[in-house]
Amino acid sequence: MIPVDRAALGRDAREVAPYLLNKVVGHGAVTGRIVEVEAYRGSDDPGSHAYRGPTPRTQVMFGSAGFAYVYFTYGMYWCMNVVVGPEGTASAVLIRALAPIGGIDTMFERRPKAHKTKDLCSGPAKLCQALDVDGRFDGHDLAEDPLLLLDDGTPPPAEPSVSARIGLSRGLDLPWRWYVSGDPNVSR
Residue at 102: amino acid letter: G
Q: What is the SS3 assignment for 2? A: strand
- At 167 the three-state DSSP class reads coil
Q: Is 110 in the site for DNA (CB under 7 A)?
A: no
Q: How far apart are the C-alpha atoms of 36 and 21, rounded to whole Å?
A: 7
Among residues 7, 56, 153, 155, the one that binds DNA under rule CB under 7 A: 56
* Chain-centroid distance, C-alpha 22: 12
Q: Left if phi > 0, otherwise alpha if psi is -120 to 50, otherwise beta: which for 49? A: alpha
163 binds DNA (CB under 7 A): no
Q: DSSP letter string over 95-127?
A: EEEEEEEE-HHHHHHH-TT--SGGGTSSSHHHH
Only one of the segments 2-10, 14-22, 125-133, 144-152 lies at the binding site for DNA (rule: CB under 7 A); that segment is 125-133
In the complex, the smallest distance separating the C-beta of residue 72 from DNA, rounded to whole angstroms, is 5
113 touches DNA (CB under 7 A): yes
Q: How far apart are CA 163 and CA 18, in angstroms?
A: 12
If binding is defined by CB under 7 A, does position 132 make contact with DNA?
Answer: no
| Residue 187 interacting with DNA (CB under 7 A) | yes
Under rule CB under 7 A, which residues in 57-86 are in contact with DNA? 57-58, 61, 69, 72-77, 79, 81
List interacting residues with DNA (CB under 7 A).
Answer: 38, 40, 47-50, 52, 55-58, 61, 69, 72-77, 79, 81, 92, 94, 111, 113-114, 119, 123-127, 165-169, 187
